[in-house]
Amino acid sequence: MPPLTKEVVKFGAFVVTNQVFHLTPLSYALVNIKPLLPGHVLVSPKRVVPRFNDLSSAEVTDLFLTVQRVSRMVERVFKASALNIAIQDGADAGQSVPHVHTHIIPRNHDDLAGEGGTDAIYGMMEGEEGDLGRQLREADEKRVDGGRKRRGRFPPVDADESREPRNEEEMQQEAEWLAEEMAKEKQTEN
């Protein structure tokens, strides 16, 4: 299946067209290169601006109606009971790519019991695991390298293999799957 759109979708300086699973007039949703938990996705305005306050009222409205629809879908598909919804608005709040993005992270009871409890998600968001900018740069370098084996620049924080950065094919497959799930969501929404 080809990507959802022929327009080039940018997340900061990065082209993420193949990771996009939902598009609206002013926003888009993309799968994550290194999800902190299954179903961890991002929703951004199409316009590349760094701060929430840079958005027009129309963009704010479109962004959060999209966050609501996408969060309903990932909660259903990933069988979650709760969600973390968060914007790191500016570098001093932990933002690593200067383009407004809302994290949506499906949660379950005791899903991080082995890693320090419910709150562990935030340390993960802020650590190297959550540093989207570095991961995307690394993915770009890997692409330029023609697939040369990635040096282990990021030591794994635990034994969970699902935390390894994913390749483009994996991300595109997930994007296609979630695009189908979004279509179901639209049919059932109020």
User: Cα(first)–Cα(last) distance of the chain, in Å?
Assistant: 29
Catalytic entry in 40, 99, 101, 109: 101
72 binds a second copy (CB under 8 A): yes
- Are 95 and 42 a contacting pair, CB within 8 Å? no
Q: Is 18 in the site for a second copy (CB under 8 A)?
A: no
Say how far apart CA 50 and CA 97 lie, in whole Å: 8
Annotated binding residue 96: yes
Taking Cα atoms as reference points, which of 61, 124, 126 lies closest to residue 94?
126
Q: Which span (103-111, 131-139, 148-156, 174-182) binds a second copy, by CB under 8 A?
A: 103-111
Tokens 């992270």 appear where? 105
**Does 101 qualify as catalytic in the annotation?**
yes
Separation between Cα atoms, residue 22 and residue 19, nearest integer Å: 9
Stretch that binds a second copy, among 39-47, 59-67, 132-140, 171-179 (CB under 8 A): 59-67
Closest distance of CB 4 from a second copy, Å: 23
Q: Determine if residue 18 is labeled as part of a ligand binding site.
A: no
- Tell whether 8 is in a known binding site: no
Smallest separation, CB 74 to a second copy (Å):
11
d(CA 169, CA 141): 16
**For a second copy, which stretch binds (CB under 8 A), given 1-9, 38-46, 77-85, 166-174?**
77-85
Burial class (CB in 10 A: 0-12, 13-18, 19+), 132: buried
Contact 172, 9 (CB under 8 A): no
Binder of a second copy out of 48, 89, 163, 173 (CB under 8 A): 89
Was 95 annotated as part of a binding site? yes
CB of 58 to a second copy, least distance (A): 10
The residues annotated as belonging to the active site are 101
